[in-house]
Amino acid sequence: MPFAEHALLIIALAITLAVGVGTLAAIILFLIDRWQTGDAIRRNYPVIGRFRYLFSGLGEFFRQYFFAMDREEMPFNRAQRNWISRAAEGQSNTSAFGSTRSLSIPGTTIFVNSFFPPLEQQYAKSKPLLIGPGARHPYLAPSFFNISGMSYGAISKPAVQALSQGAKEAGIWMNTGEGALSSYHLEGGCDIVFQIGTAKYGVRNKEGHLSDEKLREIAAHDVVRMFEIKLSQGAKPGKGGILPAEKISAEIAKIRGIEQGHDSMSPNRHSELNTFDDLLDMIEHVRQVTGKPTGIKMVVGSEVFVREFFETIVQRGADSAPDFITLDGGEGGTGAAPMPLMDLVGMSIRDSLPLVVNIRDENGLKERIRIVASGKLVNPGDVAWALAAGADFVTSARGFMFSLGCIQALKCNKNTCPTGITTHDKRLQKGLVVESKHARVARYAKDLIHEVETIAHSVGVAEPRLMGRRHVRIVQSDGRSVPFSQIYPSVNPTIETSISQT
């Protein structure tokens, strides 16, 4: 038999076999779907009904790549992600022909440019700012933009390594998140903020209570500059951290001081804290044991509680105050959270930040308590707004995830992250090459800081923190913009024109 005929025969047999197997599979699926009782669509439309679920699953990917406009996708749109990607790659972030940003959407931020901005040689430059002047080891923080809390466990080993090395190169701090301190945090040599979560991972004794001995062990690392007591998180106020069992390796279990093979569920709050006095006692205890500045991380739900907290501080004296307060907005992110909490609970950073800044300043604690803003602040305009609203520092987690290569696949809680950032699957982690990704982290941070300085220069100030609410306008529902200072007046307008030179 000629070769060509032989080849055609083989192809014909293969096609026949494939059709036969496909037909048999379709018949089996038809019978399964027709006789099952749990799904009405599959029961009424056997086999064909299965495509509904396939297309639903693929919908989020098609929307991201083909259908969503540059500025309409959630939680982060394409324009935001592309800016971070270009910055991380070291590419130009200049644009042509005009902005694609709508200036008529309520809440849009517009910065007020100066009629006579400083000359180029007077370009705005950020300065270090002191945190915790009363601590034995106060911290002169070099940068206003830093890495927010992401636990080793929630993110992978190479992700932690790249962030640590990139933070060192950029001169910014890195928050450990509640998952404790690993060797991978330390190997980059960057400044570190150690977060004490409700489960007290890394600083707990066998009973799960705070251990002074372990606090001292952590504080003995020179690069650990501050301690942050986590009260609540923007994506899930009132609920503790969640780390699925499949993401808990033997190493992570050892670092956290927990058992392997079980979901790691942090308590919804610190069990020993029942009053604001209890909280201030814990802050002072950690500060005395470690000698390092100690603050808190919280989500604001009510102005009433914030005022009660500051009243307690004033009654006890400024020395009892936290050295910093990290404000996480209700729009904050996480790898795993119940949808009702993620969608519905906690004030937005756009509301809580100016509120807390005003209450702090009313009580004369501006130089005593630094405010750190967090919650979906990933681009220069977001960060500049926060500084103008009164924040002393801004931290971001998801912005730095994008700099590592995150594609917003929304698989953070499934250990199947395709970019290797939030998975412990070694095969997937191979895609995250630390030697190149740490440079992306550093470039993103440096470029964002430079762009915020550019905005500060445009509005006519010499340092980004000198921007005030008078430098910002907010678009209203009728399309007109009004001064931010009119919506949220500062307690003392002169505060906006001064900054600590410490």
488: left (phi over 0), alpha (psi -120 to 50) or beta: beta
Q: Residue 382: its pLDDT value, please?
A: 95
Query: Which residue is associated with the tokens 């047999």?
Result: 13
What's the pTM value of the predicted model, to 2 decimals? 0.86
Between CA 490 and CA 81 the distance in angstroms is 33
Q: Residue 359: its pLDDT value, please?
A: 97
The Cα angle at residue 440 between residues 81 and 177, in degrees rounded to 5: 80
Query: Which residue is associated with the tokens 């992306």?
Result: 440
Rg (Cα) of the chain, in Å, rounded? 26
The DSSP call for residue 263 is: -
Q: Kindly report, residue by residue over 249-275, the tens digit of the pLDDT.
A: 888 888 888 878 777 778 888 889 999
- Residue 97 in this model has a pLDDT that exceeds 50: yes
The DSSP call for residue 117 is: P
| Amino acid (one-letter) located at 5 | E
Q: What is the pLDDT averaged over residues 357-374? A: 96
Between CA 240 and CA 223 the distance in angstroms is 27
Q: Both tokens of residue 238?
A: 């009132």
- Residue 62 in this model has a pLDDT that exceeds 90: no
In sequence order, the β-bridge partners of residue 289 are none
Cα-Cα-Cα-Cα dihedral of 87, 90, 96, 101, to 10°? Answer: 0
Q: Are 292 and 137 in contact (CB under 8 A)?
A: yes
What's the Cα-to-Cα distance from 325 to each of 187, 227, 430, rounded to whole Å? 27, 11, 37
Is the dihedral angle over the CA atoms 78, 81, 84, 87 positive or is it negative? negative
Per DSSP, the three-state class of 393 is: strand
Q: Residue 422: its pLDDT value, please?
A: 85
Using alpha carbons, select from 198, 160, 161 the residue that is nearest to residue 178. 198
Per DSSP, the three-state class of 152 is: strand
Q: What is the pLDDT averaged over residues 171-178? A: 96
Between CA 332 and CA 295 the distance in angstroms is 19
Q: Kindly report, residue by residue over 465-496, the tens digit of the pLDDT.
A: 999 999 999 999 998 999 999 999 988 755 44
Q: Kindly report, residue by residue over 143-154, the tens digit of the pLDDT.
A: 999 999 999 988
Q: Which residues, in sequence order, are CB contacts of 109 under 8 Å at separation 6+?
A: 381, 385, 472, 473, 474, 475
Q: Both tokens of residue 497?
A: 């024109």
Chain-centre distance of CA 278, in angstroms? 28
Q: Where are the alpha helices (DSSP H) in 374-498?
A: 380-389, 398-404, 426-429, 434-459, 484-487
The DSSP call for residue 289 is: H
The pLDDT-based confidence of 415 (bands split at 50, 70, 90) is confident
Q: What is the pLDDT averaged over residues 51-76? A: 65
Q: Residue 336: its pLDDT value, please?
A: 59
Between CA 233 and CA 402 the distance in angstroms is 20
Q: What is the pLDDT averaged over residues 76-98? A: 75
Q: Are 43 and 36 in contact (CB under 8 A)?
A: yes
What's the Cα-to-Cα distance from 281 to each of 209, 220, 268, 273, rounded to whole Å? 15, 22, 20, 9
Q: Which residues, in sequence order, are CB contacts of 286 under 8 Å at separation 6+?
A: 196, 210, 215, 227, 229, 294
pLDDT, mean over the chain: 86
Q: Where are the alpha helices (DSSP H) in 345-429?
A: 349-362, 380-389, 398-404, 426-429
